[in-house]
Structure 1
């Protein structure tokens, strides 16, 4: 698609991985990233008409159709497809020095943005790994509590320990789910824009090649004109050769004109593409940050609710079905000050007075 549409920022697919590529969380995150990529390509005013996209989405025998298309239309290499169709050579040329301040500023900005996003992605990975570590710790804590509850003889203690063990398992599930949710919301967006910056830089590279092709065509034109002037100084004795060189000069002038127009058109296209990139970046990050925060709030609410429920069960002294009932304290002990609270001691005193 880069070759078909030089200057267009093509949303790239997510990276593959050699290890654990069938692991559930990785498969789900890559599926979500591929879905975002396809939606962006399909919504792009230029890319949505690309023949390769149409083949990918509509073909019922994709592998066969791709091989047939490759034999019929060899895949163009970046801007070579468009420039080569006009007979314009595509080469690296000398080192490119940006003359347009707008493009220079955007390139500096993109380099800084890429470094910031990579640092953010590293921090994001650290946070996700910490959530997974907390989930593992909760699981280990649950196993230890369960083991202790099985050897504890007192039912007033073994019951709460067993219930706390079950609670830690649910907490583990919350941490695991939150870690995956972080990847599927904020993490995917960060990774997507790191890859998108790579596509923007590839468009910059195509523009540079178009610039070198333009100047290469100009150099070729100067050579043709020099040959023409040399023949003109030699007189009319080589009229046939002069006519041939004149045709070559006209052809070289046409190529220079086309190469210059392609370079200018690519510049205008890239300005529009970078404006689109900025608009979508703001919208995507705003949406993903909101979803990330909402997910974090919901996870904390769920944890609080689970702990509150557990504490309510511990405090429900009058419920016959609860797993824990406080031991009964004798009245004499309460009067002696060994009760749990001042209220209980006062009630014990009242009971003795009644007696």
Structure 2
């Protein structure tokens, strides 16, 4: 994909997340599944949305600072070439080697997931497992359940990839492989999601289906606490900073949707033009067989049009495989962010309702119940996590679209240069015939 990998974020080091309490968890942290814990919201609040020194949840260090050093020599072998700021990373995941499986009841594609890590949460330094799309979908659902305060990266749509009819074609499979690879890299680069227990199982378990059946009855307290916040409460006023985020996401999705539709039409017209060029060029070649002196120039024009056709085909392929998927990913990303924002609003509405109930009591100085304080902690945790994830998402978006637009400019320049060279190659043939006269 034209959009490069997001900026690497420092890890939280060797400490287990299960050792840290989370305001959304129950009274006993041992009952939470997946190690989804966050420090006290008092440490997280009070920072503006754009602050660069925002403390990350779960003890993560802010972007731009060095992460804890690792004593393992394996870390030196796990340096990525695209680590822009030279930060050390301790978890690397790649998706490759798609394989088609034909069974009696179904046909599906699996992908090889290769993981290398120096984290103490992993028993081995390297793992290799195979996963299908529904396994990725299971992982995302589990992350949403166990980490409701965080933005979960979107998955590519299951069946709809515009311009591709056969979901088992090489083009479809490769486009999906790139999207799934980026999905896992987004999680890997997140200082909280990358430590989730479900993510660890997804990367390491040989038999994921057995774990799925075992964990079907297990829902984390975090997921339950948010899932049961129903629409019984109505939010009075969304805070200005979160209202601005909501307005921005609406406009952002609208603009990207418009660009996506126009880009689709452009690609469709380019494909139609390509079909015409492929019929247009051979006509000159057939004509040259009937001409004597014009045979060579006509063959030259035919070859020129063939070269232009090849260049145009490369351009449309680049637009379809690199440009459109990034647009679609960020449209889905905005939907994911809106979902987290809505959950935050529900928690705030619940908190406001509880405060009203306390205020209506006859006591002069009513004591704030524990459930109200817990609800306040939950809301503050949502605020901190959402702002941190929004800032991280904005940084990734700027980097992705910068590379995407630069790549698109380069591809168009290359296309027109190839066409120019093709037509310039015909001029000497025409000039030779004129001088011969």
The TM-score normalised by the length of structure 2 is 0.59
Hey, what's the Cα distance between the residues in 2 that align with 1:36 and 1:172?
Answer: 32
Structure 1 residues 304-323: Cα deviation after superposition (integer angstroms, max 9, x where no partner): 222222333454x4xxxxxx
The residue that corresponds to 1:265 in the other structure is: 381
Q: Which has the higher helix share?
A: 1
Structure 1 residues 259-297: Cα deviation after superposition (integer angstroms, max 9, x where no partner): 111111111111111122222221211111111111111
Report which of the two structures shows the higher radius of gyration computed on alpha carbons.
Answer: 1
Task: Indicate if the aligned counterparts of 1:132 and 1:179 stay in contact, CA closer than 8 A.
Answer: yes
Select between 134-143 and 113-122 the one with higher mean Cα deviation.
134-143
Matched, 1:45 2:188: no
Q: Tell me how far 1:82 sits from its aligned partner.
A: 4.4
Q: Tell me how far 1:214 sits from its aligned partner.
A: 3.2
Correspondences of 1:308-319 after superposition (within 5 Å): 308-315=424-431, 317=432
- Show structure 2 runs of 5+ residues with no match: 1-142
The residue that corresponds to 1:141 in the other structure is: 280
Task: Indicate if the aligned counterparts of 1:135 and 1:172 stay in contact, CA closer than 8 A.
Answer: yes
**Which of 315, 320, 323 pairs up with 1:178?**
315
**Which of 420, 427, 433 pairs up with 1:304?**
420
Q: How many residue pairs are counted as aligned between the two chains?
A: 289
The residue that corresponds to 1:339 in the other structure is: none
Select between 16-25 and 118-127 the one with higher mean Cα deviation.
16-25
Assess, with a 3 A threshold, how the Cα gap between structure 1 residues 178 and 218 changes in structure 2: closer, same or farther. Answer: same
Correspondences of 1:186-201 after superposition (within 5 Å): 186-201=323-338
The TM-score normalised by the length of structure 1 is 0.72
Matched, 1:289 2:417: no
- Show structure 1 runs of 5+ residues with no match: 230-248, 318-324, 330-355
**Which of 171, 174, 185 pairs up with 1:25?**
171
**Which of 132, 144, 158 pairs up with 2:295?**
158
Secondary structure of 1:155's partner?
coil
CA RMSD, Structure 1 to Structure 2 (Å): 2.9
The residue that corresponds to 1:96 in the other structure is: 235
Assess, with a 3 A threshold, how the Cα gap between structure 1 residues 115 and 254 changes in structure 2: closer, same or farther. Answer: same
Hey, what's the Cα distance between the residues in 2 that align with 1:58 and 1:162?
Answer: 59
**Which of 148, 170, 173 pairs up with 1:6?**
148
Assess, with a 3 A threshold, how the Cα gap between structure 1 residues 202 and 294 changes in structure 2: closer, same or farther. Answer: same
The residue that corresponds to 1:333 in the other structure is: none
Q: Tell me how far 1:207 sits from its aligned partner.
A: 0.8
Q: Which has the higher strand share?
A: 2
